[in-house]
Amino acid sequence: MYYEKLALEVGATVAGFNVIKPAVIRGESGTDQRFTFVAADGSQMYAFDVCPEVGQVEILRMYVKKMDTGARAFAVCLSGRPSAQAKDLAKIYGIDVLSPSEVGDFFSNRIVQNIRAPKVARASQ
């Protein structure tokens, strides 16, 4: 879990996101929702929970926290293989499930999008 958390922190920092420490977001319910890692891009929060296995229970937990906080939610599955039911449930609830190999790529892809965005804006002027 340490490597994945570190990869998220480094990637978020390089992409220009603000790392939220401790990784807690106060929900609409007034409850402090705890995550493994949280980053912010303006008002949008990105919340990650790293789990040894991702099943329906983990997705339901993430969904409750997502609904309470409004954060974009991600479950990192250390085994790399969430159950089929968890995949289906995650899709329904709008939760992304990442494998350990995808953790580093998440913010790298955001960096590429940010680099391309100014070029598109300049081309339309």
Report the amino acid identity of residue 78. Answer: L
Residue 61 backbone zone (phi > 0: left; psi -120 to 50: alpha; other: beta): alpha
Question: What gap in Å lies between CA 121 and CA 45, rounded to an integer?
Answer: 25
Tens digits of residue pLDDT in 50-63: 999 999 999 999 99
pLDDT in tens, 13-37: 888 899 999 999 999 999 999 999 9
Is the per-residue pLDDT at 66 higher than 70? yes
Q: Tell me if 72 sits within 8 A of 44, measured CB to CB.
A: yes
Domain that holds residue 105: 2-123
- 15 contact partners, CB below 8 Å, separation of at least 6: 107, 108, 110, 111, 114
Q: The CATH number of the domain where 77 resides is what?
A: 3.40.1350.10
Backbone angles phi, psi at 84, to 5 degrees: -60, -40
Spacing of C-alpha 49 from chain mean position: 8
Domain count across the chain: 1
Strand ranges, E, within 42-103 = 44-51, 72-77, 96-98
Grade residue 102 by pLDDT with cuts at 50, 70 and 90: confident
Question: What is the pTM (predicted TM-score) of this model?
Answer: 0.83
According to DSSP, the residues that pair with 72 across neighbouring strands are 46
